[in-house]
Chains A and B, each alone.
Chain A
Amino acid sequence: MAIPLKYNTGNLGARRVSMLLTILGIGVINAVMLSMLALWHGVKTTTVASGSPTDLIVLRESAETELSSWVTREASEIMRTIPGIARDATERPLVSPELVILFKLPRRDSGKGSNVTVRGLTPVGVEMRAVKLVEGRMFNPGTSEVVVAKRIRDRFANTSVGDTFRFGATDYRVVGVFDAGGTAFDSEIWADESFLGQSRKRTAYSSVLVRPVDAAASKAVIDTIRNDNRLKLLVKTERKYYEEQTTGLFGIIILVGLVTVFMVIAAVLGTMNTMFSAIAGRTRELGTMRALGFKRRAILLSVVIESALVSLLGGLAGVLLALPVNAISTGTTNFRTFSEIAFNFRVDGAVALTGIVIAVVAGVAGGLLPAISAARMPITKALREV
């Protein structure tokens, strides 16, 4: 017969202070681990989730990033005529030639310069990348007006609506702030393509974004672009492009891995120690239960369950502790492109669940050894214990 669960919950209550400390301790471990997972999740969202799975990005053959790519104006014109490309309400083909340049701008906090991606867009491009304006308005074509992602506005000086910032010999006027829903565009400043090209003396585009009518057309469009010898261009879905960008974030992967591993070790050792102490405090009780006829297996299971219970509570406490992390927005540099990417720590259901599952698994692992030693105790010896 199994020992009732009530025995375990009762035990948690009996040693209130030490249990609370354990739960809090495991909670902190779990919170640190969750923050790491949230960091990675946030970075992944800003990169991978940025790209549309259907839109196609066209780059120079062999270019790995938009920054190192260029597409001539002629090539862009040719692409407008490819069959299978979607059109907007006014019958304009959804082909967006874009110019991507890095601006080194001072950060708000330190005043130190960091590279911000500035994307020059045509009206069609703005239409294709539907972002939400949270303040001000969209820039007017042909002017020095720009719109700034909210996260960039928060991190860089002189980028609020109404501000003017200088780069090179040109002053740019901020007229709006947008929110791109946590994607890579949240790390960008958008400007008018032709104005940006003129002021930075660029004659070619960096990339062209193309929207096919549907999946079947997508394949045809890809083939057409690939097989056109005049173009010599590379085409892939935008999603794939952003997936490839994560390789520049090796450092974050190392950090997340390192810290998570150590937190798991700490969680296992922590529960192990508490459980050893917990059973040591009731040796006689356990001996009595054995004498009453509970099997070794029942004792083992009971201790493991108790340990899992403690970890579960610790895991939940960790989620609570980690929730404020959710709001933190920070930035790092993608070392493949040397451009700043801003991201949020994201603690969502999946991250929280992963954290709790890891905590419980660590709890079971940590409870196993104490459970075995509890189950193995000879009855006579246990009963004699003071």
Chain B
Amino acid sequence: MKYAKLIRRNLFRNKLRSFLMIVLMGAIFFLIAALIQILDAFDNFDTGGAGDRLVVQSAFSLAQMLPYAHEQKLQQIPGVVGVAKSQWLGGYYKERRNTFAILTLDADKVSALFPEMNVNPDEMTEFVRDRRGALVGQDLMERFHWKLGERITLHREIFPFDPELTVRGVVHNNVLASVLYLHQDYFNEALKWNRVGTFWLKVRDRNEMPAISQQVDAMFKNSEDPTETFTEKEFNRQFVNMMGNVKVLFGTISLCSIFMTVLLAAITMSMAARERVTEVAVLKAIGFGRRLILGLMLTEFVITTLVGWAAGVGFAALIFGSVDMAKVTMGFLPRLHVAGSTAAICGAAAIVVGLVAGGLPSMKSANLRVVDGLRKVV
């Protein structure tokens, strides 16, 4: 393209201004990319299982526990190949700020139901054998410098029970990196309630899942403890719903940020256009057409915003790639990355910002009368 040089020279005309513009755009697109990825991470929270699990909880609320007696009935449902009880405990290690996810599980069912935990088979055997054993996510091991065989005491959060545990195995799963699992039996022994928060069912055929869900809920409908059965995905999603209208909030923040970028970019771009009124007049005088001028200026502005986009999204990819957000936020956020779709959305926004903000100044330049332009002293 023969005008490339002209555009390039204009881009570098005021280096500082272009630089500031790019940094500003970069910061905003970093924020937007981060927001989109956080939302996405919550929405698609996935431990990497086979998607063959159903979760049964009380129809009243998650805080309501279900009787052990349900387990046997669940096992007898055709198509269900495994049932494990699990309870959210919550709690912390030594100090309150060391709060992380603590869950119980039927130890002997872990390898069959949750193969994605990737626990070394020897360690798993040790864990199953030790009633007070614990499986610990890799980040927790690192954070507290725990070693296999180490004895730890956790402080209670919900139940009157301070687990005294021995680390028996490490969970190698990025999503579960800040989770600790202990034996459901140990928990139940301490409380003697014979009740548990959730039952996890592994099904033989994923196509049977809707039918099995219905069957489970119908089975307990008229009992003292009616149930509500979800696929694992739906179960996880209810926590996102609990957070409230995060989507609207994040969306509003992103839109406001883009609007604000448009305003600030418009100022910069009109400055850039005003500065070269004489120059544009000369170009027109030597035969550059209206459209060509418009196109050249818009291209220049869109390139600026796109460089800002590349800087912001690239920086986000770099940060999320090198810093483990799960560790920084202590397991609250999962490990983040920048998805292609996120980059594309931000890129589209960058182009829109360039066109909208640069539109008016470019149009003004394009429609400039040569005499006016030449007469003007800037």
Is there an interface contact between B268 and A28, defined as CB atoms closer than 8 Å?
A: no
Is there an interface contact between A266 and B257, defined as CB atoms closer than 8 Å?
A: yes
The residue from A103, A332, A386 contacting B242, defined by CB atoms under 8 A apart: A332
Is there an interface contact between A21 and B263, defined as CB atoms closer than 8 Å?
A: yes
Contacts of A17 in B (CB 8 A): 270
Instruction: List the B residue with the shortest CB-CB distance to A36.
Output: B253
Q: Is the interface of B mostly helix, strand, loop or mixed?
A: helix
Residue B322 is within 8 A (CB to CB) of chain A in the complex: no
Contacts of A281 in B (CB 8 A): 271, 274
Is there an interface contact between B60 and A104, defined as CB atoms closer than 8 Å?
A: yes
Given A272-B20, A276-B16: A333 in contact with B264 (beta carbons within 8 A): no
Residue A18 is within 8 A (CB to CB) of chain B in the complex: yes
Contacts of B158 in A (CB 8 A): 64-65, 67-68
The residue from A62, A115, A247 contacting B61, defined by CB atoms under 8 A apart: A115
Is there an interface contact between B267 and A273, defined as CB atoms closer than 8 Å?
A: yes
Contacts of A277 in B (CB 8 A): 17, 267-268, 271
Instruction: List the B residue with the shortest CB-CB distance to A331.
Output: B244
Contacts of B261 in A (CB 8 A): 266
26 contacts between A and B (CB under 8 A): A17-B270, A29-B260, A32-B253, A32-B257, A64-B157, A102-B61, A115-B63, A168-B60, A251-B243, A251-B332, A254-B333, A255-B249, A262-B257, A265-B27, A266-B261, A266-B264, A274-B264, A274-B267, A280-B275, A281-B274, A332-B242, A332-B243, A333-B239, A337-B63, A338-B62, A338-B242
Contacts of B16 in A (CB 8 A): 276
| Shortest CB distance A4–B (Å) | 26
Contacts of A280 in B (CB 8 A): 14, 271, 275
Interface residue ranges of B246-297 to A (CB < 8 Å): 249, 253, 256-257, 259-261, 263-264, 266-268, 270-271, 274-275
A binding-site residues for B, Cβ under 8 Å: 17-18, 21-22, 24-25, 28-29, 31-32, 60-65, 67-68, 102-104, 110, 112-115, 167-168, 247, 250-251, 254-255, 258-259, 262, 265-266, 269-270, 272-274, 276-277, 280-281, 330-333, 335-340, 386
| Shortest CB distance A248–B (Å) | 9
Number of A-B contacts (CB under 8 A): 144
Mark the stretch among B28-36, B69-77, B146-154, B172-180 that contacts chain A.
B28-36
Is there an interface contact between A25 and B63, defined as CB atoms closer than 8 Å?
A: no
- Complex formed: what's the CA distance from A175 to B40 in Å? 42
Interface residue ranges of B18-74 to A (CB < 8 Å): 20-21, 23-24, 27-28, 30-31, 34, 59-64
Is there an interface contact between A18 and B267, defined as CB atoms closer than 8 Å?
A: yes
A interface footprint on B175-218 (CB within 8 Å = 1, 0 otherwise): 00000000000000000000000000000000000000000000
Residue B378 is within 8 A (CB to CB) of chain A in the complex: yes
| Shortest CB distance A39–B (Å) | 8
Contacts of B59 in A (CB 8 A): 104
Is there an interface contact between B271 and A18, defined as CB atoms closer than 8 Å?
A: yes
Contacts of B257 in A (CB 8 A): 32, 262, 266
Is there an interface contact between A273 and B60, defined as CB atoms closer than 8 Å?
A: no
Is there an interface contact between B271 and A103, defined as CB atoms closer than 8 Å?
A: no
Contacts of A255 in B (CB 8 A): 249
- Complex formed: what's the CA distance from A270 to B34 in Å? 21
Is there an interface contact between A102 and B63, defined as CB atoms closer than 8 Å?
A: yes
The residue from A32, A103, A340 contacting B260, defined by CB atoms under 8 A apart: A32
- Complex formed: what's the CA distance from A194 to B176 in Å? 43
Residue B341 is within 8 A (CB to CB) of chain A in the complex: no
- Complex formed: what's the CA distance from A168 to B221 in Å? 10
| Shortest CB distance A69–B (Å) | 9
Is there an interface contact between B270 and A340, defined as CB atoms closer than 8 Å?
A: no
Contacts of B377 in A (CB 8 A): 386
